[in-house]
Structure 1
Amino acid sequence: MVLEYNKPATFFEESLPIGNGKMGALIYGGTDDNVIYLNDITLWTGKPVDRNLDADAHKWIPEIRKALFNENYALADSLQLHVQGPNSQHYQPLGTLHIKDLGLGEIKYYRRTLDIDSAIVRDSYERDGRHITREYFASNPDKLIAIRLRGDINCQIALTAQVPHQVKSGLGQLTMTGHATGDAQESTHFCTILSVKTDGEMAASDSSLTITKAKEAIIYIVNETSFNGFDKHPVREGANYLEAVTNDLWHTQNMTFDEFYARHLADYKTIYDRVKICLNKGGRNPKDLPGAKDRRMTDEMLLDYTNGNDQTPYLEELYFQFGRYLLISASRTKNVPANLQGLWAPQLWSPWRGNYTVNINLEENYWPAFVANMAEMAEPLDGFIAGLAANGKFTAKNYYNIHEGWCSSHNSDIWAMTNPVGEKNESPEWSNWNLGGAWLVNTLWERYQFTQDKTYLKNIAYPLMKGAAQFCLRWLIDNPKQPGELITAPSTSPENEYKTDKGYHGTTCYGGTADLAIIRELFINTIAAGKVLGLKNKEMEQALAKLHPYTIGHMGDLNEWYYDWDDWDFQHRHQSHLIGLYPGNHLTDATLQKAAERSLEIKGDKTTGWSTGWRINLWARLHNAKQAYHIYQKLLTPIAPRGVRKEDWKAWHKGGGTYPNLFDAHPPFQIDGNFGGTAGVCEMLMQSSIVNGQCSIELLPACPEQWQDGAISGLCARGGYEVSFEWKNGKVRGCSIKAKKAGTLTLIYNGQQKKVKLKAGETQNIKTW
């Protein structure tokens, strides 16, 4: 599993990412000036939220409801602006490292690789006949980024930043201090230390180091920030980052580069090696395999995949494992989950603030975590949701006059902001949505489903789920149009717009299907969690039974709106009303599934990167192997890096897809599409469910004919099982299941079913033919 290129990166979307879950780097690999962007996932603008903000905003809710039930949707849209708060803070880049080769002469034989089996970037070239190699990795156990230069080394090393900063140089060391953009007394501060060991000569001047006459130079980079939690002021209550970074630096003296790498590799492979995949081995292009003569570069492979119609399984496997690599590299900091860009942000102001978008994108980041055997990577989400719950109690009271439970809205940031956004002047289509918490807590339930950890369910998941459900119980109102039903009002369907039967183009409505689907999924799961713990939720059960039902529209689709209105854009990227199909599990009625399928058909195939990732999973859940694979192919559409002149696009495409470095193209880059693609492959190969306490695992539910032969090991299934199997000619030919706890499951494969009973810790090999 190797990404390989024969030239340095010119653009961000060509750079190669490394990360230890807190610090990250983007390797450009230039020969004259090797630019390396540095990030720390805890470096954000801002400070803890004001919990008394907009304390009387809730007074507008009755007025909005009155306008809605008078069918005055234009007035409702305008009144929604009063129920908006500030937008989120910004995720910011840490620094920029320049390694300038001071040598002269012609460059030949450049190669740059990211080995995702070993989590290391390497590049090499010849300058005037002299060979130079460079290696880069980010270690989680040792909290550092390490770089080794070998060959005839004559270079200048400089450290700078786009945020306010200063750099001091000393012999063998650069120290950079600074803070996120904004008032220094109100911002997160940081200290980055870069140390160099070399067998050559070294000199320091201003903010750089110069190395000459060396055969080897080793660079260690450590960083700490003053971020001390979502509710701690980053200056007055900040972490002692100067002491922490000094300790990190002293640690770099304890071991050699090779010893640090061995520790990094062991840590990484403990997680990464759990899942292995092989899709249609006989159909691989020999030029795609590592070590092959005349090996195709990854960007060439991506272009050929779409334009040359060479749909190599190797690229499909590579993309799958790259998603796992990215989550391991970006999500290992307590209480700070991967953001819209994972943790890789080269720009001072990232698109969409680099924040947490909670109406799909943050959830999608963690879809592969459990099924692809990386449950630890979702742990940062637990503490983050707890922060949202703490702040969300005040948002529920201030904006909605609800004094039970908690809510969270469209966007958040490292400060666990929960208020509706929009600055009182942005469209309600995204700004006024308040069911982020209700959707997000289902990830906690998923952890329990996969691990069967009752202690976790009791102490962490259930209280947060219950709090989100309590808000929803109070947010639901009696439907004046249909007595006996419960609906939400005001309601929006995230980022989508409708056209009424009177021709009005708007966003605010009542009883939107997406709202009710999210609440339905939440209530079902919270009730089930309560039963596991011996707790009753009678009020929730009664409310669940009274929710306005799904309806089918005049086009045979699942209605997204209370009425049978058309979408303003039939091909809109969001499909939030289908959450009950995926990632939820309650949309099992055959008639409704047929309507959901019709909704996907109407939306078509052309959409953005993260939405493409979602649609793979939706089609797979519908057991439509042909269409799920077709959408996976769409996700691998080659997209030109931003900044490339249009006349140089040549074979590159527009819209959603994949950049040359395999980053997801929304466009621009959003990491959620990578994770949706990885989850989609899992969903095509295996699906699991627990209904009324009965677990079932289905193998090859949506396996396309292009993957007729293959094998996968280490997938996790609900119920606490780890599954490995292989298949030939589309039929499962061998399966083993390992149980974390004793249990009985129904295994579905090759058109048949088999009951399997396992003891805790037992692995059972099952004959499937």
Structure 2
Amino acid sequence: MQTNHIQKLLFILSFLFFYGKVTAQSAHILWYKQPANFFEESLVLGNGKQGATVFGGVNSDKIYLNDITLWSGEPVNTTMNPEAYKNLPAVREALKNENYKLAEELNKKIQGKNSESYSPLGTLEINNHHTGKASNYYRELDISNAISRVSYEIDGVKFTREYFVSAPDKMMIIRLCSSQKGALNFDINSSSLLKFETQIKNNLLSMNGVAPIHENAGYEVVPTFLLEKERGTRFTSLIKIKNVDGTLTSSSSSLELKNGTEALIYVSIATSFNGFDKNPATEGLNDKSIALDNLNKAFSKSFDKLKQNHISDYQKFYNRVTLNLGKTTAPNLPTDERLLRYSEGIEDKNLEVLYFNFGRYLLISSSRTLGVPANLQGLWNPHLHAPWSSNYTMNINLEENYWLAENTNLSEMHLPLLSFIKNLSVTGKVTAKTFYGVDEGWAAAHNSDIWAMTNPVGQFGKEEPMWACWNMAGAWLSTHIWEHYVFTQDKNYLKNEGYEMMKGASQFCLKWLVEDKNGILITSPSTSPENQYLTPDGFVGATLYGGTADLAMIRECFDKTIKASKELNVDSEFRVKLETALSKLHPYQIGKKGNLQEWYFDWEDKDPKHRHQSQLFGLFPGNHISPLKTPELANACRQTLEIKGDETTGWSKGWRINLWARLWDGNRSYKMYRELLRYVDPDGKKTEKPRQGGGTYPNLFDAHPPFQIDGNFGGAAAVAEMLVQSNENEIRLLPALPDAWESGSVRGICARGGFEIALEWNDKSLKKVTIFSKNGGETTLISGNKNKAVRLKKGKKLEIIW
């Protein structure tokens, strides 16, 4: 009897543990005591192409559906402003004459169209025919296996739902169960904010529609959008129920299960997008047949098989890295309550680990489609008119999305961006010629979209140059190619694809540079992303020459291209040109406040605490400024950050944490990391004292506000940067370890040179390091005042007691 009692107790405990009711405070689980009422409380799933946003309601469960390839528009007309470049001499002349007001107006003539928009695909609604009141509600997202669960009880019956979006089976799966036979009664329907129609045939709910052809002018909400026959990306959503028991019926708009005990819902979606240069209407993929084929293949498989396929595929990426930041005394609270508690300054090390893990989860879930990287909202957009079109903003946000790709061991997730850069290099050749009069290489500007648009935006002269006229995206993005190579040592990629893109970006910059009155190379015209200067006579503008950010990005672009050229032993003559140009670039200037100047002159910023810090590019994500190599410039970077302060938007805070880490100031990095995890109320939630500003929403999404995913990625990348920093020759271990992380361990962090690192530390001192070489090579390990040279053969590892 006693044995049976113990077994029963163990069974109950294991059941409760599975559903999260009795768990240790988790570094892998987000959980809540109530359904989501707002998007910023929902839980997101994705396989890198198909996305689902789950609210987990009791009577009605709303699920937003996305496909990362569903955008407005069609292939971009690269020759939209064929003679724009003819305005350049007048802009340069106005700048030469120090007539900044005139230069600002003339610069508007070098503009094109705005980007297209990422579109929401639709909404799936599960209506549960409950009669009683729910109790013991529980909702979770387990990011260790990318599965979300909901459970609750009504009149003694336990209802559970389990959701995942599978990459191998290209499908969303939802399992619904009741603890009492025949208690499961629900119907499902789907709709879209886009033009759509639904039909039901043979118990298959299909929704077909089309994305609009339009430009979201100025990112304003427009009441209508243009639809044209034979234009626009088509989409298909197919939904089918597999019932174990009960009766399956359908109406003209919904599928219904009566008196069931267990059922599976299969959700298959596809679009006609067939590449950035193919008309999705006339040259598109057959979205209907793709969705149906995927559905039929998955429908024949059991739930256990589908789940096993999904978990094994996902965990081969997620399980590469484990992080432990030491003992915690924080209680096991729902994630929203946990975040509120943490925002009061209370310790919760596992929440800090969870946020890091969540960043990696989001990248795996949103970046697995070649040519279509994660956008401003990753993969999850519920809005017809998304903030900033949920596009690719390339003066920081797109790049920040990928800062964690290589160093947190997710190199494969970098490939969608790298292949997108290849697309940009095609359209960018035309942009270089028609907008900038440069007949070599390629250029890209402030915004892009799925069509690899590269022109400067601004609606042909209607927008402000402070953001619309920036043209250094090619220089910045090209450095990602070198990063991928130096982390992976994939010489075939560098030789066959990467180098030509890097060379093209450098060719453009080389031709774009002009001499100032002292014969020094500068850019003209120039802007510093989204910032404005204040001249001594009171003029506020953005158009100048020789902006520090431009030159920092060109330095980094040239430096990496030179290294790639040497690595491949090609283009020695071109390499010399780059080296010569590097030596003639306008040098960094330290201003009267001890700051790193943003402008050619030591002028004030209109907003001294501006969210962008583009002039610090050379410190991070570049690496030609460092406390060791360039101490004066590093100190000037520090002073710039001090002037700007720590209070800023989500993505900007993510960037600043990385910058402080590169200055080897772990405690300042940690202070801002804590601030990044400051609780922010969902958009639209009415409270007496709303908690607003940059920070983190209840579902751990980054609050710009509104939601932008780059802060999640930048924050996660910064944790890795605090623990391991590297270049081609050395690896610094625990370079910015904060006092709060006195003891801990990490496994799987990657370093440049093709190395993988595991660390253990105690009392803020490194105790053990294990280094693994993916391809063979040598490096120097550095921690504190100690260093050790290491040489390893391919596939070998070395353990060192430090």
TM-score under structure 2 length normalisation: 0.93
Q: Which one is further off, 450-459 or 135-144?
A: 450-459
Which residue of the partner structure matches residue 644 of structure 2?
Answer: 603
Residue correspondence of structure 1 range 277-676 to structure 2 within 5 A: 277-280=323-326, 282-285=327-330, 287-288=331-332, 296-307=333-344, 309-423=345-459, 424-480=461-517, 482-483=518-519, 485-535=520-570, 536=572, 537-588=575-626, 589-647=630-688, 649=690, 653-676=691-714
The 1-side partners of 2:184 and 2:122 are apart by 23
SS of aligned partner of 2:63: strand
Q: 2:768 aligns with which of 718, 722, 734?
A: 734
| Structure-2 separation of matches of 1:460 and 1:441 | 12
Aligned partner letter, 1:526: T
CA deviation profile, 1:566-617 (whole Å, cap 9, x unmatched): 1110110000111100000111310000000000000001000000000110
The one-letter amino acid of 2:74's match is: K
* 2:284 is the counterpart of 1:238: yes
Q: Which amino acid aligns with 1:353?
A: S
Q: Which residue pairs with 2:785 in the alignment?
A: 751
- 2:718: which partner in 1? 680
Contact 1:132–1:150 (CA<8 Å) still a contact in 2? yes
What's the secondary structure of 1:4's corresponding residue?
Answer: strand
Q: 1:418 offset after TM fit, Å?
A: 0.3
Equivalent residues in 2 for 1:40-119, closer than 5 Å: 40-119=67-146
Instruction: Report if aligned partners of 1:122, 1:135 keep a CA contact under 8 Å in 2.
Output: yes
The answer for the alignment partner of 2:17 in structure 1 is none
Equivalent in the alignment of 1:194: 239
Amino acid at match of 2:776: A
Aligned counterpart, 1:715 = 749
Aligned to 1:254: 300
CA contact under 8 A between 1:396 and 1:406: conserved in structure 2? yes
- Say if 1:279 and 1:709, in contact at 8 Å, map to a contact too: yes
| Distance of 1:212 and 1:682 partners within structure 2 | 51
Report which stretch shifted further, 178-187 or 392-401.
Answer: 178-187
Deviations 1:348-368 (A, max 9, x none): 111000100000000000000
CA distance in 1, matches of 2:41, 2:358: 15
Structure 2 matches for 1:201-216, cutoff 5 A? 201-216=247-262
Distance in 1 separating the partners of 2:703 and 2:137: 26
Give deviations 1:179-220, integer Å, cap 9, x for gaps: 102324210001111110111111111111111100011001
- Give distance in 2, aligned partners of 1:436 and 1:391: 13
Q: Which secondary structure does the structure 1 equivalent of 2:175 belong to?
A: strand
CA distance in 2, matches of 1:430, 1:94: 29
8 Å CA contact retained: 1:172, 1:197 = no
1:178 aligns with 2:230: no
Residue 757 of structure 1: CA displacement?
Answer: 1.4
> RMSD across aligned C-alpha pairs, in angstroms?
0.9
Percent identity between the two aligned chains: 51
Aligned pairs, number: 749
Partner-residue secondary structure (3-state), 2:230: helix
C-alpha deviations, 1:227-282, integer Å up to 9, x for none? 000000011111122221221111023311111010000000000000000002x2
Q: Secondary structure at the match of 1:754?
A: strand
Question: What's the offset of the Cα at 1:648?
Answer: 6.0
**Offset at residue 382 of structure 1 (A):** 1.8
| Alignment partner of 1:13 is 2:40 | yes
Does 672-681 or 534-543 show the bigger shift? 534-543
Where 1:606 maps in the other structure, the secondary structure is coil
Deviation at 1:51, TM superposition (A): 2.1
Q: Give the secondary-structure state (helix, strand or coil) at the position aligned to 1:426.
A: coil
C-alpha separation in 2, matches of 1:729 and 1:717: 24
Tell me how far 1:745 sits from its aligned partner: 1.2
Q: Which residue does 1:292 correspond to in 2?
A: none
Check whether the contact 1:664–1:674 (CA below 8 A) recurs between aligned residues.
yes
Aligned partners of 1:524, 1:672: CA distance in 2, in Å? 26
How far off its partner does 1:134 sit? 0.2
Deviates more, 1:627-636 or 1:251-260: 251-260
Structure 1 length-normalised TM: 0.97
- CA–CA distance in structure 2, aligned partners of residues 524 and 530 of structure 1: 10
- Whether contact under 8 Å (2:49, 2:69) holds in the other structure is yes
Listed as ranges, the gaps of 5+ residues in structure 1 are: 289-295
1:458: how far off?
0.9
Q: Could you give the per-residue CA deviations for residues 593-643 of structure 1, whole angstroms, max 9, x where no partner exists? A: 000000000000100000000011000000001100011011001101001
Match of 2:177 in 1: 150
Amino acid at match of 1:163: L
Superposition deviation, residue 454 in structure 1: 1.1
How far apart, CA to CA, are the structure 1 residues paired with 2:384 and 2:193? Answer: 6
Aligned twin of 2:54: 27
The equivalent residue for 2:224 is: none
C-alpha distance in 2, partners of 1:339/1:284? 37
The residue identity in structure 2 corresponding to 1:129 is G
Q: 2:9 corresponds to which residue?
A: none
Work out the CA distance in 1 between the residues paired with 2:578 and 2:734. 36
Q: CA contact under 8 A between 1:155 and 1:212: conserved in structure 2?
A: yes
Separation (CA, whole Å) in 1 of partners of 2:727 and 2:689: 48
Map of 1:166 onto structure 2: 197
Q: Is the 8 A contact 1:171 1:202 kept in 2?
A: no
Amino acid at match of 2:597: N
Once residues 253 and 204 of structure 1 are traced to their aligned partners in structure 2, the CA distance between those partners, rounded to angstroms, is 19
Deviation at 1:55, TM superposition (A): 0.2
Give how far 1:283 is off.
2.6
Q: 1:444: Cα distance to partner?
A: 0.8
Offset of residue 78 of structure 1: 0.8
Gaps of 5+ in 2: 1-27, 213-226
Q: How many angstroms does 1:171 deviate by?
A: 4.1
1:765 paired to 2:799? yes
- C-alpha separation in 1, matches of 2:730 and 2:229: 55
Residue aligned with 1:77, SS: helix
- Report SS of the residue matched to 1:522: helix
Deviations 1:631-680 (A, max 9, x none): 1011001101001114263xxx2210000000000000000000000100
Check whether the contact 1:331–1:337 (CA below 8 A) recurs between aligned residues: yes
Letter in 2 for 1:613: G
- Structure-1 residue corresponding to 2:727: 689
> Is contact 2:40–2:682 with CA below 8 Å preserved after alignment?
yes
Helix, strand or coil: the match of 2:658? Answer: helix
Name which of structure 1's ranges 640-649 and 43-52 shifts more when overlaid on structure 2.
640-649
Letter in 1 for 2:429: K
